[in-house]
Amino acid sequence: MSSQAKRHLITSAIPYINGIKHLGNLVGSQLPADLFARYQRARGAEVLFLCATDEHGTPAELAAAKTGKPVAEYCADMWEVQAKIAEGFGLSFDHFGRSSSPQNHALTQHFAQRLAEEGLIEEIVTEQVYSKADGRFLPDRYVEGTCPNCGFDSARGDQCDNCTKQLDPTDLIDARSTISGSTDLEVRETRHLFLKQSKMRDTLDNWINQKADWPVLTTSIAKKWLHDGDGLQDRGITRDLDWGVPVMRADGPWPGMEGKVFYVWFDAPIEYIACAGEWVEAGKGSDWERWWRTDKGADDVRYTQFMGKDNVPFHTLSFPATIMGSNEPWKLVDYIKSFNYLNYDGGQFSTSRGRGVFMDQALEILPADYWRWWLLSNCPESSDAEFTWDGFQGGVNKDLADVLGNFISRVTKFCNSKFEPTIPAGGAWGDREEALIQELESRLRAYEAHMEAMEVRKSAAELRAMWAAGNEYLQDVAPWSTFKTDPDQAAAQIRLALNLIRIYAVLSAPFIPTAAARVCADMNTLDMAWPTDIRTALTALPEGHGFNVPDVLFAKITDDQVAEWSERFAGTRD
């Protein structure tokens, strides 16, 4: 199904509830998903854009304990914080849900029962790491040690982030508890439910082989998990924890599973579906099944997921195994856009050491659009990318201030001084205007193609090139000189440029929505129609249409600010 479908279901990887995320998390899923959602809405598509907080498991329990709050209260408070930050960054979710919702509890239990009925759930007595110092079984991610595959010394009990190999805690060398640091660990028996993913291996392999248009990053990770070593393994879907979705069948208790909860990586992706039910419950929409069930109309929906590369195995294998294994008509993902990592100034972002810029801090020092533009125009698509303050300063100052902001300022101020703050009449277009129209038409088609293909950096580069074309046009025709000898021709040049401002605002809105809305307000127009034909769009604001001369759209970032922020975010955050 083409990305030019009329209905788009879009989800971004749901963030853990335990704390505020850094800019690398933002650009790895939510921000590019928002870009795509905004673009598709601008092109007239019906969009359902969903995200939520991932609230279950030990991360939530430990974070709550540090604050002295009950875990449910902590999660409710942090959901408010994350929702507010998302709003601050202009993330246009149709609904921002919670994996602890009643809808997700019911749906998770439903899927588990259906998988059991299809013969894909097995009860197994397993050996699990128990920490004497902590007095508890340790979830996979709370056991760390050295990876037996690549030697990385901070591999987690479920996966090595360095080589992405799937692990069990007992595979780790020199294992330790991440809660207490204790190495006084022992293996004890416990009974759990396992999803028999191995029975789905051929089905998943055939399905992935059909996705020739997926990014190489996505398919290569999926294939590695399917075929390396012993291939796709059966996976435990329950844990010995207090906080989570209780292990029950949809129709009642699950004998032998009392006191256990479903593993967070089983219930978290199901929240994508449950979130649509929450959207309806909140009064924001109706008939969620037309988005998620192919027997209810979802056949014409194109479903796109956005995520960092560490989430790819669960979204290409485990979640599809859950959906396919249920043997029910649920909508499967059509396209997975995965991203590499954004590093920070020669190293990694670190939540524990406060290294790098976190989302709340970013909004404290600069408006969201500064961050949106730089992150998207430099997002880690084909390889890891790096945030540096010098690079950020250069990107903002050159692109937003010197190219886009400068064009808008020069045109509006000149028109106001030589004519009036209205679209001037007189004159006609000539060869230079025709050349500009042809260039803009060509670049617009390229911009649209890149956006449809979710090629984020190429889209940003094409948009900037359209901004630059306007500046080059101004330099060539020099209306300030033309005005001295031919005011009517200068009026025609400025009339085109003023209309070009509106076009820039519309095309830029997916990237910098707040600034785009401000530009349209200054141009006194609510017309945000996509400029499918540049020539026609250049006459959208008629002669005599009034506008306001805007203030500075993007202030330049100074060297003093860069020095201050470099020191502030070097790793001093508690």
DSSP states of 2-17 = -TT-SEEEEEEPPPBS
Say whether 163 counts as a known binding-site residue.
yes
Say how far residue 167 (Cα) sits from the centre of its chain: 27
Say whether 51 counts as a known binding-site residue.
no
Q: Residue holding tokens 């249409």?
A: 545
CATH architecture of 387-537: Orthogonal Bundle (1.10)
List, in order, residues 6 or more apart from 452 with CB less than 8 Å away: 2, 3, 4
pLDDT in tens, the chain (574 residues): 455 679 999 999 999 999 899 999 999 999 999 999 999 999 999 999 999 999 998 889 889 988 999 999 999 999 999 999 999 999 999 999 999 999 999 999 999 999 999 999 999 998 889 999 988 888 787 899 999 999 999 898 888 988 888 788 889 999 999 888 999 999 898 899 999 999 999 999 999 999 999 999 999 999 999 998 778 899 999 998 889 999 999 888 999 999 899 999 899 999 999 999 999 999 999 999 999 999 999 999 999 999 999 999 999 999 999 999 999 999 999 999 999 999 999 888 887 777 899 999 999 999 999 999 999 999 999 999 999 999 999 999 999 999 999 999 999 999 999 999 999 999 999 999 999 999 999 999 999 999 999 999 999 999 999 999 999 999 999 999 999 999 999 999 999 999 999 999 999 999 999 999 999 999 999 999 999 999 999 999 999 999 999 999 999 999 999 999 999 999 854 4
Type of residue at 68: G
Select the CATH number that applies to the domain covering 120-200+209-253 from these four: 2.40.50.140, 3.40.50.300, 2.170.220.10, 3.30.365.10.
Answer: 2.170.220.10
The domain ranges of the chain are 7-108+263-385, 120-200+209-253, 387-537
Q: Are the C-beta atoms of residues 541 and 423 closer than 8 Å to each other?
A: yes
Residue 163 DSSP label: T
Taking each helix axis from N to C end, the angle separating 456-477 and 368-377, rounded to the nearest 10 degrees, works out to 110
- Closest-CA residue to 335 (of 206, 454, 511, 204): 454
Say whether 415 counts as a known binding-site residue.
no
Q: What is the CA radius of gyration of the chain?
A: 27
H runs (alpha helix) in 298-405: 312-313, 319-325, 359-365, 368-377, 389-395
Report how far residue 261's alpha carbon sits from residue 109's, in angstroms, rounded to the nearest whole number: 10
Q: Are the C-beta atoms of residues 561 and 390 closer than 8 Å to each other?
A: no
Say whether 275 counts as a known binding-site residue.
no
Q: CATH topology for 7-108+263-385?
A: Rossmann fold (3.40.50)
H or E segment to which residue 75 belongs: helix 71-88
H or E segment to which residue 304 belongs: strand 301-308
Report how far residue 364's alpha carbon sits from residue 366's, in angstroms, rounded to the nearest whole number: 6
Say whether 150 counts as a known binding-site residue.
yes
H or E segment to which residue 239 belongs: strand 238-239
Q: Are the C-beta atoms of residues 93 and 86 closer than 8 Å to each other?
A: yes
For every residue of 455-523, DSSP letters joined together read -HHHHHHHHHHHHHHHHHHHHHH-HHHHHHH-HHHHHHHHHHHHHHHHHHHHHHTTTSHHHHHHHHHHT
List, in order, residues 6 or more apart from 41 with CB less than 8 Å away: 47, 92
List, in order, residues 6 or more apart from 553 with CB less than 8 Å away: 400, 401, 404, 405, 408, 409, 515, 518, 519
Q: Are the C-beta atoms of residues 164 and 223 closer than 8 Å to each other?
A: no
Report how far residue 52's alpha carbon sits from residue 75's, in angstroms, rounded to the nearest whole number: 12
